[in-house]
Chain A
Amino acid sequence: MPYLGSEDMVKELRRALSNPNVQSDQLRYRNTILKVIRAMSQGVDVSGLFSEIVKACATVDIVQKKLVYVFLCSYAALNPELSLLVINTLRKDCQDPNPMVRSLALRNMTNLRLSSLVEYVEQPLTAGLRDRAACVRRVAVLGWAKLHNLQPNSEIDATVVNELYSLLRDPDPVVMVNCLRALEEILKEEGGVAINKPIAHHLLNRLKECDVWGQCEVLRILERYRPQSDDELFDILSLLDTSLVSQHPPVMAATLSLFLSLCSALPAVSLSALERVRAPLLAACGSTSRELRFTALCHIQLLLRSVPGLMGAHYKRFFCGYAEPAYIKQRKMQVLVELVNDENVAMLLDELKGYCTDVNTDTAQAAISAIGRIGRSYSDQCLQILTGLLGLKQEHITSAVVQTMRDLVWVCPQCSDTVCLALEGCEENLQDTQGRQALLWLLGVYGERISSAPYVLEVFIDGVRSETSLEVKMELLTATLRLFLCRPAETQDMLGRLLHYCIEEETDMCVRDQALLYYHLLHCGIEETRKVLQGRRSDPSLGVLIGRPVEPISQWAHSFNTLEPLRQGTVTTDSSNKGSPEHVTSDPKPNSDLSDDLKPCQIETVQTASDSASLCTEYSTDALSSSAVAPLSLSLSPALSPEEFERLWLQRQSLHAEQGGEEKEDGDYLCTEECVQCPTIPHCSPQNLQAALQLVNIQTLAFTPPHTLPWRVYLYTHTHSSCSASKPPSTLILGELLYTGEPKEDCSKMVMEGSHEQLTTEGEEAAVDRLRGRESARQQSQTEDVKVTLKQQPRDDKALKGFLSVLTTVLHTLSTETT
């Protein structure tokens, strides 16, 4: 910020600088220049003093020289002509016997950033590369990079490049690293410095000589190198093993990054590398620097995406200290949610409960929604805590609890009884939009079980005139209508009033349109309305799929050790998800399902829009990927939402039931059953199974937890075959794995169904309803078998067989692994 009267100040300084008395007294001269620099760094424009300062350049006092250079480098671009005057002094300094003076001159010569000076700079730079002092060579090497960037279009000087490559063998490690950096910049067009085997090995051998920063740079550049054989690869890995557990977080992170890129084809090695970095990462989490702590936490979140159990035993390290800043606390809670298991759940909830009353409201809300996330697996304990929090009658806490309950009920409908009980009377403490919205949603959906629901709604309706929030009004409309469907006597009057107000007086178009829609809908009859409004109450993915799928390491390896994980909102595990519950776990859904679309949860609209956007990209990538297919290839896209899956599955099921489960076949729809012998499969962890199936592009949608009976898994995939024109290009396969565990049970039904519509557009998907037939087969089987029921559409026997063999292989492999 410029000071008042900065012009006077510049004048004053100019007078002092040109005063011969000052000039002759070295100390006074230096102090005056000091004042100039001080003014400069405070933001005063002192560029007018350029010519005076240039004169001050010719001095033997190194401190003064340095000060002058600081000035010159800042203002050279404004005075290219005057800068020419400096160049002579600088060139003379380059001959100075003192290496420090030489390096100083050389560095600042290149820092002036004037393309007009390039011709004068080249000669001293060339000489600098062969200087006997390492500090001059360091500067000279980087100088070439600066020079290149000054004139980006000029041709690359091959002799310089060769010289730089040869300087990689320089005895000074910093010169070596600088050479890498300079070559990287100069050869940017060609993809950076070329790393062949001798260079890679040379760099690896000299890694120990470099300091932390040099090591990081070398490790980063080595990521480009691909070892030629496995032996070489493992030699490199064992050489790097000590850096992996380095006490310097930068080195550790760079080494892990290199490990992951080298071992992208060896998941087992990558996993053991992740195990190795656990200790240093945890140490970084406890660092004194909170910024470093935060960075480490963000990267731990990345690691947990692939190895959820990595930090399980160390969950106490993620407990928050009371003086920690909110952003660290919130990240820690996100990590804690991932680490929950049967042993630590009590401890963890107790700890989280303590954070719910944090003074910082954001932290408190994050803690509450973290408890809600844990509630998906341990609903009883969590609901107890949440209900207890409602007793505090604090606005922000009540709001967060109600939102969390809404999200929880959506995933675990079995909690609804407790939630309904808890909701009584909490409306008094709700002030904010999101909290009230959540309450209204719950009242609408579970209105028949909450005795006071009509009265609560009445209060809202009476106050609708003063309501400012659009979202609340729309939610209110829906909730009232829903409640009307189940408790018409109590609600009819207020619904009328609300509709009247919204249609006649409301100025907002969205609210009005929705009210009109409901009005007309009611005209169509109560059954019609019910069909439209009474959508799902819970996440249809069976509610048991709690853990996120384990991602392969390659999903995040590229962003490890970059700024990406640190950015807000990029983390998918965000426990403070404020969105609609409907979409917490669901995939992008095709909007063919009418009832789903009309389900008037306004909070959903935004999400749906983004969903369809992502759906488009899915389609396009699908098109890309399917253009290069083998005879049978599986793919996950277009993604199938759990709702859609359920619908398709049940359609088949009902038809199947009608026809008594006998074999029947119709042209385009196929249902088949098979038994696979893999006794241990039901005991392996859902994560393993999911990861394994994902490797072959089969998406699992829902699981029962391991060791429960009957054990089920639902999955789907798309097959693509490009080879023949006669066959449908792509089919959709839905599957169920069932293990009843009952002995002597005929547990192998096989149903095959098919229909000849092609699943390319949504309209046709809707037409799937007109399916015609199926086939089913019965076989006797042994107890240990897992029954596989597959439904394919349209029919393509060959593809189905191929799919079945893939699936069987995966199951057998997993089975042998678990035993």
Chain B
Amino acid sequence: MISQIFILSSKGDHLIYKDFRGEAGSDVVSIFYEKVMTLTGDQPPVVMVTHKDLQFIHVRQGGLYWVATTTADSSPFTIIEFLNRLAALVKDYCGSLSEKMVQMNFALIYELLDEVVDYGYIQTTSSDVLKNFIQTEAVSSRPFSLFDISNVGLFGAETQQSIVAPSSAATRPIQSSREQGGKSEIFVDVIERMTIVIGSNGMLMKADVEGEITVKCYMPNCTGNGIFWVVFLSSGYGAAVRVDECSFHQAVRLDEFDSHRILRLCPSQGEQTVMQYQLSDDLPSAPPFRLFPTIERDSGGRLLMYLKLRCDLPPKSCLLLKCVMYVTPVASVFSLSQELSSPDQSAELKPQSRAVVWKVPRFTGGTQLSALFKLDVPGLSSASMQEVGPVGLSFELPKYTATGLQIRFLRLSPVQPGPSQRWVRYVTHSDSYTIRI
């Protein structure tokens, strides 16, 4: 049972406030913000109020605080899942999630809240049901962007890029499909998150992949009878994808899953997760990055770190990479000088977290990068030399799945009237990719 819901910006501005049960006044908003601010570091999602028997539960999404007040006996799983779902709904309806978006669409969000929760009880969060009730149109501010016209080549000829949807294509409000002349599109994302720990001896100590297939559907007249199929296979023909555990959305029909790996689904408007899976320890391919560090102390007492980073992916792929290295997390670092292998890379020292951040805008598979960092560390002892590291990589690998899962067909049936576009995207993110030195 939820007593109030409010959305705050990270600066504490009240964006949305809705009281469902009239049990507490709106002053709780300020109380909450004070409490959150006094907590050091990151805040656990439950904060207790002392003066009344109300509890705050909050999640952070899109840089905003999504807060519910509730009683002590309610289920944290339910409330947190609901707040996440609410944020997802707002994102579906507004296109994206940010303070500005929420401010512009507050009427829509009030309307949404009104339908989703009544008297503190969650009624429905299915976008299929909600779309009949929501009347307000989303206001989206899409500033004119050169990116939009970059798809059009010289003299209006289509460039090669046009076979790739712009990455912002899927961040639009679901309702706007109504007036856009029924352009039906479906976006399927295969998103995998990798957690890898590589020991100082180069041994793979831990490898975990968590993946999900999400479908975002903009079908003007898709009211549940449109069925689409997903068939997925591994990259090599015939070889099955191995996953440790998987679970499906309840609307997925699995009649042919065991024999042909076919998922049948009637997607509803908006985003939904069709399948979640995970794979532990035994990855089909080697981890994509290897690091070869050399660390020594030069005559001037400076710490020299020579890093070679190799990418073992197929040569065509390229990716964005941010390499965060915790240099001697125990000693404060004075200054940094660096030699990088190419000019478009950059490196900077973050004194607060005692880390060197090395940014690589483009990294082609099969190649190798190197960097030499010279660090002035006052009072550098041999013991703290041992504590250099770990190196954390954060990256986004497009068109790559660590499990090898791929979608073979995406078929819509019955065939939709008018043109329909189907987009499939594969991304692997690094949840945590740690290399110990």
A, B in one complex? yes
* Interface positions of A (Cβ within 8 A of B): 1, 34, 37-38, 41-43, 62-63, 66-67, 69-70, 74, 77, 100, 107, 113, 135, 138-139, 142, 145-146, 174, 177-178, 181, 211-213, 216-217, 220, 247-250, 252-254, 279-280, 283-284, 286, 288-292, 294-295, 316-317, 319-327, 347, 350-351, 354, 357-360, 362, 388, 391-394, 397, 561-564, 566-568
Contacts of B381 in A (CB 8 A): 391-393
B14 touches A42 (CB 8 A): yes
B239 interfacial contact with A, CB 8 Å: no
Considering the complex of A and B, which 4 residue pairs feature the smallest CB-CB distances, nearest first?
A321-B432, A325-B42, A247-B247, A391-B383
Q: Which of B43, B118, B124, B249 contacts A142 (CB 8 A)?
A: B118
Q: Which of A63, A69, A316, A566 contacts B136 (CB 8 A)?
A: A63
What are 9 A-B residue pairs whose CB atoms fall within 8 Å in the complex? A1-B13, A41-B15, A41-B110, A63-B136, A107-B114, A291-B57, A322-B392, A351-B197, A362-B41
B356 interfacial contact with A, CB 8 Å: no
Contacts of A178 in B (CB 8 A): 118, 121, 123
- Given contact pairs A322-B432, A326-B41, A316 touches B390 in the complex (Cβ within 8 A): no
Please measure, in the bound complex, the distance between the C-alpha atom of A370 and the C-alpha atom of B243, giving whole angstroms. 33
- Given contact pairs A41-B17, A62-B135, A113-B22, A357 touches B41 in the complex (Cβ within 8 A): no
Please measure, in the bound complex, the distance between the C-alpha atom of A120 and the C-alpha atom of B59, giving whole angstroms. 40
A291 touches B326 (CB 8 A): no
B133 touches A100 (CB 8 A): yes
Please measure, in the bound complex, the distance between the C-alpha atom of A393 and the C-alpha atom of B378, giving whole angstroms. 13
Please measure, in the bound complex, the distance between the C-alpha atom of A392 and the C-alpha atom of B388, giving whole angstroms. 12
Please measure, in the bound complex, the distance between the C-alpha atom of A290 and the C-alpha atom of B46, giving whole angstroms. 12
B80 touches A357 (CB 8 A): no
Contacts of B92 in A (CB 8 A): none
Among the 9-residue stretches B69-77, B221-229, B364-372, B409-417, the one with 4 or more Cβ atoms under 8 Å from chain A is: B69-77
Within B75-90, the residues touching A (CB, 8 Å) are 75-78, 80-84
Please measure, in the bound complex, the distance between the C-alpha atom of A77 and the C-alpha atom of B22, giving whole angstroms. 10
Contacts of B75 in A (CB 8 A): 216, 220, 250, 253-254, 561-562
Please measure, in the bound complex, the distance between the C-alpha atom of A252 and the C-alpha atom of B78, giving whole angstroms. 10
Shortest CB-to-CB span from A317 to chain B, Å, is 7
Shortest CB-to-CB span from B270 to chain A, Å, is 15
- Given contact pairs A279-B245, A283-B276, A392 touches B330 in the complex (Cβ within 8 A): yes
Instruction: Give 20 A-B pairs besides A41-B110, A181-B119, A254-B77 with Cβ atoms closer than 8 angstroms.
Output: A1-B13, A34-B107, A37-B107, A77-B22, A213-B82, A213-B121, A250-B78, A253-B78, A279-B245, A289-B59, A289-B80, A291-B83, A292-B80, A322-B326, A327-B42, A327-B43, A354-B390, A392-B384, A562-B76, A563-B73
Within B274-311, the residues touching A (CB, 8 Å) are 276, 278, 280-281
A360 touches B78 (CB 8 A): no
Shortest CB-to-CB span from B395 to chain A, Å, is 13
B81 touches A392 (CB 8 A): no
Shortest CB-to-CB span from B257 to chain A, Å, is 15
- Given contact pairs A66-B114, A561-B75, A325 touches B135 in the complex (Cβ within 8 A): no
Contacts of A220 in B (CB 8 A): 75
B80 touches A316 (CB 8 A): no
A283 touches B107 (CB 8 A): no
Among the 9-residue stretches B145-153, B204-212, B400-408, the one with 4 or more Cβ atoms under 8 Å from chain A is: B204-212
Q: Which of A286, A393, A563 contacts B210 (CB 8 A)?
A: A286
Contacts of A563 in B (CB 8 A): 46, 55, 57, 70, 72-74, 76
Please measure, in the bound complex, the distance between the C-alpha atom of A215 and the C-alpha atom of B260, giving whole angstroms. 32
B45 interfacial contact with A, CB 8 Å: yes
Contacts of A211 in B (CB 8 A): 124-126
Binary contact track B17-43/A, C-beta < 8 Å → 1, others 0: 101001000000000000000001111
B106 interfacial contact with A, CB 8 Å: yes
Within B191-208, the residues touching A (CB, 8 Å) are 193, 195, 197, 199, 205-206, 208
Please measure, in the bound complex, the distance between the C-alpha atom of A697 and the C-alpha atom of B76, giving whole angstroms. 34
Shortest CB-to-CB span from A638 to chain B, Å, is 31
Please measure, in the bound complex, the distance between the C-alpha atom of A347 and the C-alpha atom of B48, giving whole angstroms. 37
A325 touches B41 (CB 8 A): yes
Please measure, in the bound complex, the distance between the C-alpha atom of A392 and the C-alpha atom of B114, giving whole angstroms. 57
Please measure, in the bound complex, the distance between the C-alpha atom of A139 and the C-alpha atom of B117, giving whole angstroms. 11
B216 interfacial contact with A, CB 8 Å: no
The number of inter-chain residue pairs (CB within 8 angstroms) is 211
B329 interfacial contact with A, CB 8 Å: yes
Please measure, in the bound complex, the distance between the C-alpha atom of A256 and the C-alpha atom of B205, giving whole angstroms. 33
Please measure, in the bound complex, the distance between the C-alpha atom of A42 and the C-alpha atom of B99, giving whole angstroms. 13
Please measure, in the bound complex, the distance between the C-alpha atom of A790 and the C-alpha atom of B434, giving whole angstroms. 56
CB closest residue in chain B, given A107:
B118
Tell me the interface secondary structure of chain B in the complex. mixed
Contacts of B133 in A (CB 8 A): 100, 135
- Given contact pairs A319-B197, A392-B330, A563-B57, A70 touches B81 in the complex (Cβ within 8 A): no
Shortest CB-to-CB span from A653 to chain B, Å, is 49
Shortest CB-to-CB span from B397 to chain A, Å, is 17
Contacts of A250 in B (CB 8 A): 75, 77-78, 81-82
Contacts of A362 in B (CB 8 A): 40-41
Q: Which of B45, B106, B392 contacts A295 (CB 8 A)?
A: B45
Q: Which of A77, A393, A561 contacts B383 (CB 8 A)?
A: A393
Shortest CB-to-CB span from A214 to chain B, Å, is 8
A324 touches B432 (CB 8 A): yes
B44 interfacial contact with A, CB 8 Å: yes
Shortest CB-to-CB span from A97 to chain B, Å, is 16
Contacts of B208 in A (CB 8 A): 286, 316-317
A322 touches B84 (CB 8 A): no
Q: Which of A100, A217, A566 contacts B76 (CB 8 A)?
A: A566
Shortest CB-to-CB span from A121 to chain B, Å, is 14
Contacts of A279 in B (CB 8 A): 245
Interface centre among B121, B247, B354 (most CB of A within 10 A): B121
Please measure, in the bound complex, the distance between the C-alpha atom of A149 and the C-alpha atom of B348, giving whole angstroms. 60
Shortest CB-to-CB span from A537 to chain B, Å, is 30
- Given contact pairs A43-B14, A66-B111, A359-B354, A321 touches B195 in the complex (Cβ within 8 A): yes
Shortest CB-to-CB span from B112 to chain A, Å, is 11
B319 interfacial contact with A, CB 8 Å: no
Please measure, in the bound complex, the distance between the C-alpha atom of A135 and the C-alpha atom of B130, giving whole angstroms. 11
A283 touches B125 (CB 8 A): no
- Given contact pairs A1-B13, A250-B81, A316-B280, A347 touches B205 in the complex (Cβ within 8 A): yes
B44 touches A138 (CB 8 A): no
B122 interfacial contact with A, CB 8 Å: yes
Shortest CB-to-CB span from A538 to chain B, Å, is 30
- Given contact pairs A174-B124, A561-B77, A392 touches B135 in the complex (Cβ within 8 A): no
CB closest residue in chain A, given B199:
A350
Please measure, in the bound complex, the distance between the C-alpha atom of A100 and the C-alpha atom of B83, giving whole angstroms. 25
Please measure, in the bound complex, the distance between the C-alpha atom of A321 and the C-alpha atom of B392, giving whole angstroms. 9
Contacts of B106 in A (CB 8 A): 37-38, 41
B44 touches A566 (CB 8 A): yes
B74 touches A562 (CB 8 A): yes
Interface centre among A107, A286, A360, A564 (most CB of B within 10 A): A286
Shortest CB-to-CB span from A739 to chain B, Å, is 40
Please measure, in the bound complex, the distance between the C-alpha atom of A802 and the C-alpha atom of B124, giving whole angstroms. 60
Within B326-353, the residues touching A (CB, 8 Å) are 326, 329-331, 353
Please measure, in the bound complex, the distance between the C-alpha atom of A388 and the C-alpha atom of B58, giving whole angstroms. 40
Contacts of A568 in B (CB 8 A): 44
B276 touches A247 (CB 8 A): yes
A360 touches B41 (CB 8 A): yes
Please measure, in the bound complex, the distance between the C-alpha atom of A1 and the C-alpha atom of B111, giving whole angstroms. 23
B387 interfacial contact with A, CB 8 Å: yes
B74 touches A357 (CB 8 A): no
Contacts of B324 in A (CB 8 A): 322
B263 interfacial contact with A, CB 8 Å: no
CB closest residue in chain A, given B247:
A247
B272 interfacial contact with A, CB 8 Å: no
Q: Which of B110, B119, B125 contacts A37 (CB 8 A)?
A: B110
Please measure, in the bound complex, the distance between the C-alpha atom of A138 and the C-alpha atom of B116, giving whole angstroms. 12
Contacts of A327 in B (CB 8 A): 41-44
Contacts of A212 in B (CB 8 A): 81
CB closest residue in chain B, given A146:
B119
